[in-house]
Structure 1
Amino acid sequence: MKNLHHTLKANRGFIVFLLGFALLRTAVADWNPIPSGSMRPTLLEGDVVLVNRLAYDLKLPLTDVVLLPLGEPQRGDVVTLSSPAGGTRLIKRIVGLPGDRIAMQEDVLILNGQPLSYTDKQTHGETVVPGFVVDAVRASEDLGGRPHAVQFLPSLRARRSFAEVTVPAGHYFLLGDNRDNSEDSRFIGTVPREKLIGRAHHVLVAADWLGEDGWRMAPRFGRWVMAIR
């Protein structure tokens, strides 16, 4: 016990630093690696995004308990969340606010009865898994004055249509930008506010860890410190 006390005393500065660092990550700011292609083309596998945990709420660290609301989630925000269907951490885009009516017809998002517009459509090859390339259609989706890129994979089986739903009070409807390859509110349901972890606002660093260009862990310098739209 004496040795433990001496060790703690000798390293108290480092211990305080670690505790402060942990508090920073759990309550203020965080960074998350992107493990899947559900947000392509906005976010790519190998991106590491910065997340503002104080964008919406001040929470008790390591819990979903909201201590103080700080801001309102906006349509078009890219957010990290704890999935209400199992607790997995996900990153998606808010497309529906409380009270919004959301539907989809053949990949066209319908917001409060109005189909969204899709412009600048382009087709290219998309690597779904190494060695398996499919046609992908990319377009700019105008989400209430906030245009952003989305992607569709016509050759894959996907849930491209669903009947209109009304987003409950205190909940949000989230979709991945890679519409035909994303586990989002079409499958996990609407997301209560307390499950929102924070808003992702920049890509910190990025690397091509899939080896699409023949390399492993090749840096994507053009994406470093890139704002997320």
Structure 2
Amino acid sequence: MSRWIRANKGLLAFLMLFGIFRTAVADWNPIPSASMRPNLLEGDVVFVNRLAYDVKIPLTDISLGRLGEPQRGDVVTFSSPKDGTRLIKRIAALPGDTIEMRGERLLINGTPAGYTMLGQGMETVAPLGQLAALHLEEHSGDASYRIQVLPQVRAMRDFGPLTVPADRFLMLGDNRDNSGDSRVFGTVPRELLIGRAERILVSADIKDDWLPRLDRIGMSLRPR
């Protein structure tokens, strides 16, 4: 065994450094579910900037220093406070914000978000089959981004008001009626944030023919 280690020490050093890089600097995250439609589709792989907010000791949630502040509208990866599963959602409310939802419409600190109708799409939802989806532009503060609603699905369309505690964030999926998010597991502590999702690296249609979706490569995930 020791002879094998000596013979492959270059490879082992590379793998160790690569692992440190991926857990401390930059990462990628495959999208397995529909919770971020219409912006992220199953089969997208996104680039995650792990240094967007904090520099952490590799393989831990221990922060060595803050590098930036999460903003409303950022798409982030984080560990679920419920069971540790890695998730990707959008920051809907910041520490100190009072947020509520009434009939799909967000209210932040008493100010309702604005909405612009963009069009329609289709989504297959088990066991209901193919359903019509409405695509909207949500304008929340300085951030604007697309969301999707599914009028035929039973969903939590009302909650709050809730004031977000210090150093915690409220997360929502862009696919508002088909997302397990802070309406289920509560607000997320800052130490559980992994990084900010910046753009789509690669994409393939894993639900159908596995063909690459070349038009999605390089798409930015930053709010407008």
Tell me, in whole angstroms, the C-alpha distance in 1 between the residues paired with 2:16 and 2:52: 22
Tell me, in whole angstroms, the C-alpha distance in 1 between the residues paired with 2:166 and 2:128: 44
Tell me, in whole angstroms, the C-alpha distance in 1 between the residues paired with 2:204 and 2:140: 29
Partner of 1:31: 28
* Partner SS for 1:208: coil
Report % sequence identity. 56
The answer for unaligned runs of 5 or more in structure 1 is none
Give the alignment partner of residue 116 of structure 1, picking from 113, 116, 122: 113
How far off is 1:173 after superposition? 0.7
How far off is 1:124 after superposition? 3.0
Q: Which amino acid aligns with 2:114?
A: S
Tell me, in whole angstroms, the C-alpha distance in 2 between the residues paired with 1:204 and 1:128: 26
Tell me, in whole angstroms, the C-alpha distance in 2 between the residues paired with 1:158 and 1:91: 19
Number of matched residues?
Answer: 222
Contact 1:82 1:90 in 2 (8 A): yes
TM-score in terms of structure 2 length: 0.96
Partner of 1:105: 102
Where do residues 1-229 of structure 1 align in structure 2 (5 Å cutoff)? Answer: 4-129=1-126, 132-211=129-208, 215=209, 217-229=210-222
- After superposition, the CA RMSD in angstroms is 1.3
Larger radius of gyration: 1
Structure 1, residues 73-108: CA drift from partner, whole Å, max 9, x if none? Answer: 111100000000011110000010100000000000
Q: Which amino acid aligns with 1:56?
A: Y
Q: Which amino acid aligns with 1:51?
A: V
How far off is 1:129 after superposition? 4.9
How far off is 1:130 after superposition? 9.5
* Partner SS for 2:82: coil
TM-score in terms of structure 1 length: 0.94
From the superposition, tell whether residues 131 and 185 of structure 1 become closer, same or farther in structure 2 (CA, over 3 Å).
Answer: closer
Tell me, in whole angstroms, the C-alpha distance in 2 between the residues paired with 1:150 and 1:174: 13
Tell me, in whole angstroms, the C-alpha distance in 2 between the residues paired with 1:228 and 1:41: 12
* Partner SS for 2:154: coil
From the superposition, tell whether residues 184 and 27 of structure 1 become closer, same or farther in structure 2 (CA, over 3 Å).
Answer: same
Tell me, in whole angstroms, the C-alpha distance in 1 between the residues paired with 2:125 and 2:2: 54
Q: Which amino acid aligns with 2:34?
A: G
Tell me, in whole angstroms, the C-alpha distance in 1 between the residues paired with 2:126 and 2:11: 43
Q: Which amino acid aligns with 1:227?
A: S
Tell me, in whole angstroms, the C-alpha distance in 2 between the residues paired with 1:125 and 1:44: 12
